[in-house]
Each structure stands twice: as structure tokens, then as C-alpha cells.
Amino acid sequence: MASENGCLLSVEALVTGYGKKQVLAGVDLEVKQGEIVALIGHNGAGKSTLLKAVFGLLPVWQGRVCLDGRELELATPRRLLLRGMAYVPQGNRVFTDLSVGENLEMGGVTLPKKRSKEGVERALSLFPALRPRLRQRAETLSGGEKQMLALANALILSPRVLLLDEPSLGLAPLLATEALHRIQAIAQGNNTAILIVEQKVREVLRIANQVYVLRNGRVSYSGSAEVLEDESKLREVYL
């Protein structure tokens, strides 16, 4: 179900921050079903802050966040997960003391057993490299494998909206490109709406449909990602 304009997720005039410090100064953004929206911007622009506010980890000071065209009230991460939103924070966080298999079980912990098992299977079919490592402690995984596990975990609940904060961070260039291709496959295969923050700007523009540039807590540019694949245009709006 999407809203009248087809948007699954929309952020309207969002203002938020930490304590007394305002970070976002009125951000508007939309993500449609099956669409990848890239959020780029320099360090400290407020990209992670935006994802946190959308996922209910920060209070919305002004403006609103809508899912299916309806305002999210009393938005807590738990409620949002149940309504089909998932969030993978920056820094491939997994439960390091648990095995890969146990991590995946945690990902589906809110589901009935059968659906949880199906979810784990689906996630493993997207990330087959995890299968031989099910009994391995997550701590011993490489950075790339941890990132795959964090993504796999987020997919177990079959989210309709996926928020990804720098999924390629710390990955070698080839692995980063591969990770982004998998993310594209998730959007195309499952019709998932994806809002992705990425430092690897040129790479993310290749998989994204729309792009927003955030600068000092405001959207300084938005439009089709294709347009910014032109190097001079990218320089103009980003550098």
C-alpha cells in the first residue's frame, strides 16, 4: 500500500537534533516502492541524523514522517519494524558474541517460528556466503561479512522500507561495489523502497533512482540520480 502520490515513505519539513542542538533544518524527501534513493553529503551534514529520526530514534521537533501517506505517530523502532521498516546503522553492527546463525535468529525474533525460518532462508539465499559460517562467531567475520550479516538480518522481516547508513563503509572497493549491486537486487527483486546514505557517491549514483544532497541540515539538491552521473553536474552540486 502506498499513498496517493505512490510514496511509501515521505519526510516533510523535518526538523530535529540532539538536546538543544538543531541539526536538520526542514528536510523534505520521498521514497517510492521499489525505488532506491541516495542521500549524499559531506561529513556532519546530517545524513545519519535523518535516518535516525525516520526510524524513531530521535524525536521529530517539527514536520512529519509518513509511511503509506499516514503520519507515524509514537514512532518507536519496534513499531516501525512491525510496520515494515528496517534500519541498518552505520558501522555494520552485529552481535559479536553470537554465532552467525544466532544473529539471524535474532533478526526474526518477533516472527512466529515458521516465518522466522523462512525469513532466514530468504536472507541466506541473498547472501549465500554466510551459509557455511552459520556456526561461526560473528566477531570472527571480516568487515564485509559482518556487513552482509547486518543486511541479511534487516531483511528477515521482509521490510517494505529499508534505511541503510553507509553499507559500504570499510569495504574494499570490489566488495563495496558488490554490496551495492546486492542492494539493487533487493530493491528490484522485492520491490523494497531503499533510502541509502553512501560516501561512495559515484557508485551509489549508478544504482540509485533519485538523489538528495544534504548540506548543513538542508536539502541543497534533489533530482534523478542519472543526471548526477555526469561528472561536471556532480561537481556543481556536490563538491
Chain positions contacting Mg ion, by CB under 5 A: 47-48
Q: Which does 84 bind (CB under 5 to 8 A by kind): Mg ion, ligand ADP, none?
A: none
C-alpha cell at 169: 563503509
User: Closest Cα to residue 35, out of 160, 169, 200?
Assistant: 160
Residue 82, classified by CB atoms within 10 Å of its CB into exposed (0-12), middle (13-18) or buried (19+), is exposed
> Least distance in Å: CB of 151 to ligand ADP?
19
With respect to Mg ion, which residue has the nearer C-beta, 48 or 92?
48
CA 49 to chain centre: 13
Say which amino acid occupies 71. E
With respect to ligand ADP, which residue has the nearer C-beta, 39 or 228?
39
* DSSP-assigned beta bridge partners for residue 22: 17
Binding site for ligand ADP (CB under 6 A): 18, 21, 23, 41, 43-49
Give the residue at shortest CB distance from Mg ion. 48
Give the three-state DSSP class for 64: strand
Q: Which does 49 bind (CB under 5 to 8 A by kind): ligand ADP, Mg ion, none?
A: ligand ADP
With respect to ligand ADP, which residue has the nearer C-beta, 148 or 214?
214
> Least distance in Å: CB of 32 to Mg ion?
24
Q: Which does 147 bind (CB under 5 to 8 A by kind): ligand ADP, Mg ion, none?
A: none
> How far is it, in rounded angstroms, from Cα 52 to Cα 54?
5
